[in-house]
Structures are given as C-alpha cells and as structure tokens.
Amino acid sequence: MERAEKYLQNALNAFDFGGEVVGAVRYGKGHINDTFCVHTQPGENPCRRFILQRISSGAFHHPEQLMANIVGVTSYLSKEIAAAGGDPTRETMQVCMTKDGKSFYADEEGGAWRVYPFIEDTICLQAAETPELFEASAFAFGNFQRMLKDYPADTLYETIPHFHDTEDRLAKLKAAVAADVMGRVKEVQPELDFVAAREADCSVALQALREGKLPLRVTHNDTKLNNVLIDRESGRGVCVIDLDTVMPGLSINDFGDSIRFGANHSAEDEKDLSKVNFDISLFNVYTRGFLEGAAGALTDAELDYLPWGAKLMTLECGIRFLTDYLEGDHYFRTHREGQNLDRCRTQFKLVSDMEQQWDDMKAVIDQYRK
C-alpha cells in the first residue's frame, strides 16, 4: 500500500464533507502532489465531489506557510470576485477547513492533507486543443494578475525558496555537474554547452528587479494550461488552480511559463526534436488574452520584458529538468529512463526557436500594449 493511501482514511475522517463519503479515487495527472477525488452523498441531495490532496513533503517543507498563502489569496480573490458580481465559489478555489478549524490535516508522518470543493462542469486540459482555449487560459492568468495587483506581495511566504531564481537554478546545475552522483554528466555535454552560452541571460530579469525596473507582484509561478479550469459549455477560463507556488515574484515569469508550456504542439518529453517548435501564432493568441485579462495592470517595463519571461522560464525549466536528471530524477515524477533529459531537450529547442523569432515576439507585445 502506498504511503498516501495508508493515511487516506484518517485524512477523510479529519474533514466534514457534509455527507457520507462513498468513495475516494486517485485523480489528475500532476507530477508533485497525491490527489484524490472524494465522492459524497449528502442525504437526499445530489452527490458532491471534493478534491483531497496530500501535499508533497519533498517539494514543500512548510505546509503551514503554503496554506497560509493560499487562504490569504483565495479569501482576497473571493472578495474581489463578489464585489464585481461574480461567483467566488466557482471563480476561485475555496479552502475547506478541518473539523478542528485548520486549513490542513497533518498525518502521522507529518504529511499535510487539504480539501477543496470540486468545481463542476469544468475541464482541465493538458494541451491547447484550440487557440481559443489557449487564449481563454491566458485571460484567466492575466485576470489573476489584475485582481491581485494591490495584494501586498511581501506578506506572502516563499514556499519554495529561489523557485524562479534563474541564477540559483544555474548554480544548482553546476553543483550537480560537479557531484555527478549518477555518472551522467558525460551524456549531456551538448546541453551543458547550451546553458553555458546563455549564462548571462540567467541574470536579466533578476537584475531588472534589483534595479527597480520590474515590480514584485503576487505570482502563480506555475501557469501551465492545466492549472486553469475551463468551463465545459462556454470554453471560458473559470478558475486558476494549483496555488501551491503562489509567492512574491515577477509577472513576466507567469506569462513566460505559459508560453513555455503552450506555444508549441509537442509533448513536454517529446524525443523527436523536429516536432518541437515555438509557434509565434500561439504566442500572439496568448499575449492578446493575457493582456486583455490584465487590463492595464502591468507597467511599461513589464511589457518590455515579456519576451524575456518566455525565454527565461523555458531556459530555467530546461535547467531544472537537466539538474534533476543528473541528480537521479528525485523531484519530477518520471515514468521511463531518460524522461527528464528528454524534457530538458525540448525546452532548449524552444529557447533556440524563440531566439530566432525574437523581433517577432517584441512586435506582438507592441501590438497589444494598453
């Protein structure tokens, strides 16, 4: 029996689901947390569903800080949404408290379990099936920036220190190369050369922050398409989910991580790099949606640096995959040998494509400036 399932029943008992729990099954395709869909039967009323997650202790060492961030941000968003005439129970995540009033339940191993109501009649996509759906996710993430523009970013905990600190990611890669615990460095010299040629790039956004050119904001920090719930009927982006990495950060990183993930047509671990191509038309679509959702909340400097956000998040992600491969694949969940190396190579191919289309990317940003 896996560790998460061993403590599943105790976690279920810690929450009041408002009805009899009739089932709990594994759910979703996330790499990090263990996720279950809980089915309940509240008397004669229709059955209800909830999402129950065991937070990864490997990725998140301080669940109390993580949950404090989520409770603070979702409470703030609920008020903003209600004030605008929206539905907070559908348009932002709602944290269900335990029976003793806490935001999570700690199991016997110190694992943290939390519960959210399931948002019905939505879909979670792993890839942009149409440009319209990609744009819908862009609007949702841009709107997320807009609604949180006045939230004091410096009050949030840094749940994963140096998460989008590209300089630190580079340093960790160098340390992994020096240690070479798996004996894999000899396999990845072309990838290491690729990073070395772009070492100065790793400081571009952080230096702009240090110089005050870019403001510190509340950022999601994992803005993949599958972290937006899409309304099944209308195709609109309904709710931004997976708020574990909500921290102080840079808006250009939120923009850039979406481009990294969505502005191409290949799988993240595609072996055939000829199938991996940065799509400027999808970049155009996403930029339009994101800036419409942001509705003027970004500064001119942030707009100027958006192409850098795309390049740096892609480069950084490739560095992270490469580091994990060299260290023995202990962070990102893998299902086959060499998967993290393949993931790294797709990211670096996208970086190369972006460099070749840099002027086109800048022209798209200028087209949608508000």
pLDDT digits (tens, 9 = 90+) for 76-89: 999 999 999 999 99
Nearest to 285 by CA among 150, 112, 96, 138: 138
Q: Is the pLDDT of residue 278 over 80?
A: yes
Per-residue confidence band for 1, with pLDDT thresholds at 50, 70 and 90 = very low
Instruction: Tell me how far apart the alpha carbons of residues 247 and 77 are, in angstroms, rounded to a whole number.
Output: 15
Q: Is the pLDDT of residue 312 over 90?
A: yes
- Any residues with CB less than 8 A from the CB of 157 and at least 6 apart, and which? 62, 65, 66, 68, 69, 247
Average pLDDT, the chain: 94
Contact predicate 167/196, CB 8 Å: no
The pLDDT > 70 percentage for the chain reads: 97
Give the up-direction half-sphere exposure of residue 254: CA atoms within 13 A in the CB hemisphere: 33
Instruction: Give the helix/strand (H/E) hosting 112.
Output: strand 112-117
CB atoms within 10 A of CB 22: 10
- Pairing relation of β-strands 237-240 and 228-231? antiparallel
pTM here is 0.91
Tokens 């669940």, residue located: 63
